[in-house]
Amino acid sequence: MPLVTTKEMFKKAYEGGYAIGAFNVNNMEIVQGITEAAKEANAPLILQVSAGARKYANHTYLMKLIDAAVIETGLPIAVHLDHGDTFELCKSCIDGGFTSVMIDGSHLSFEDNIKLTKQVVDYAHPRGVVVEAELGRLAGIEDAVNVSEADAAYTDPNEVEEFVQRTGVDSLAIAIGTSHGAYKFKGEAKLRFDILEEIQKRLPGFPIVLHGASSVIPEYVETINKFGGQMPGAKGVPEDMLRKAASMAVCKINIDSDLRLAMTATIRKMFAENPSEFDPRKYLGPARSEIKKLVLHKLNNVLGCAGKA
Ligand code: G3H
Ligand code: 13P
Ligand code: ZN
């Protein structure tokens, strides 16, 4: 099966009350860990590439790794640009074989966000590529952009119908209290399910995307700190909240930080226990296995998309 768009995946996910995992990829071991898990779980999959990942690993290398994953797994896999910030970046990814792009105009005014999103949609759709946009603003760090909590804003349900109708966008990322990175909640985790419910009412059947959805798994943070790390008390989105979102209109759940934590915890432990080791396969191999274990857990127990490929 060649690379697919998210159209069919989202339709089935919406109707089935589950979500597709969108995992960020930056190198071969990450691609392999995620895709081996998806194969074992027989789950549809979105592999997403940020501008930073593209700079780090190079567009062609990432595409070829993803092509290899398609051959190895036979799964429906979509390749998606995460947080595209310009028309040119989206165009370059569309021309380079991505099947889905996100244009993130969430920092712009409503009118400018519509204008930029529509420009990308008008380029993407005739080429068979789907587009995700964002309305509302998450807190946290993406590439060089750091949105403070004070500047973050929940999505206004009053704006969503007009936005979707005027842009022709295929899915919408919303802000309901999640944020990017490993430090999401100081106290108790709170998500505005009332806003999600209202948006779902205004846009029946329309796929919603949840960014900043890592759970910041405590065991990984503990391991990192046990073996020389200094991560302050980190808190992510509880899994039951992700399950609830997936049973509603949320069809795509974005996970990156948990992958980073899994990899870093494994490598720190490995070096602490084997200080003379210097073969990269001896630390990247276990990191890849841990990513596979983590993704299997997400697919089977959190997102509900196992067996749905
Ligand atoms: O939302 C941001 C993703 O975690 C990607 O992070 O821009 O550092 O690759 P990055
Ligand atoms: P996390 O930082 O919670 O993993 O979010 C990732 C994300 O939203 C990528 O777009
Ligand atoms: Zn994001």
Does residue 134 fall inside a structural domain?
A: yes
Distance CA 236, CA 303 (A): 16
Does residue 308 fall inside a structural domain?
A: no
pLDDT of 222: 97
User: What is the CA(201)–ligand 1 centre distance, in A?
Assistant: 30
Pocket test of ligand 2: the residue of 180, 191, 242, 260 to mutate, having most ligand atoms within 8 Å of its CB, is: 180
pLDDT of 274: 97
Percent of the chain as helix, strand, coil, to the nearest 5 = 50, 15, 35
Does residue 1 fall inside a structural domain?
A: no
Task: Tell me the residue range of the domain where 230 lies.
Answer: 7-303
What is the pTM assigned to this prediction?
0.96
Instruction: Quick: pLDDT tens for 222-241.
Output: 999 999 999 987 789 999 99
Mean pLDDT across the stretch 266-295?
98
Mean pLDDT, all residues of the chain? 95
Does residue 39 fall inside a structural domain?
A: yes
Does residue 75 fall inside a structural domain?
A: yes
Which ligand has the minimum distance to the alpha carbon of residue 217?
Answer: 2
Residue 67 known to be catalytic: no
91's tokens: 């165009």
Considering the candidates 82, 85, 104, 258, report the single residue annotated as catalytic: 82
Instruction: Quick: pLDDT tens for 81-125.
Output: 999 999 999 999 999 999 999 999 999 999 999 999 999 999 999
Does residue 309 fall inside a structural domain?
A: no
Q: What is the CATH number of the domain that holds 143?
A: 3.20.20.70
**Which stretches within 168-279 are classed as H helix?**
193-202, 218-226, 239-247, 257-273
Strand boundaries in the chain, DSSP class E: 20-24, 45-50, 77-84, 100-103, 130-135, 140-142, 145-147, 171-174, 208-210, 250-255
Does residue 50 fall inside a structural domain?
A: yes
Total number of domains constituting the chain: 1
User: What is the CA(210)–ligand 2 centre distance, in A?
Assistant: 9
Instruction: Quick: pLDDT tens for 46-79.
Output: 999 999 999 999 999 999 999 999 999 999 999 9
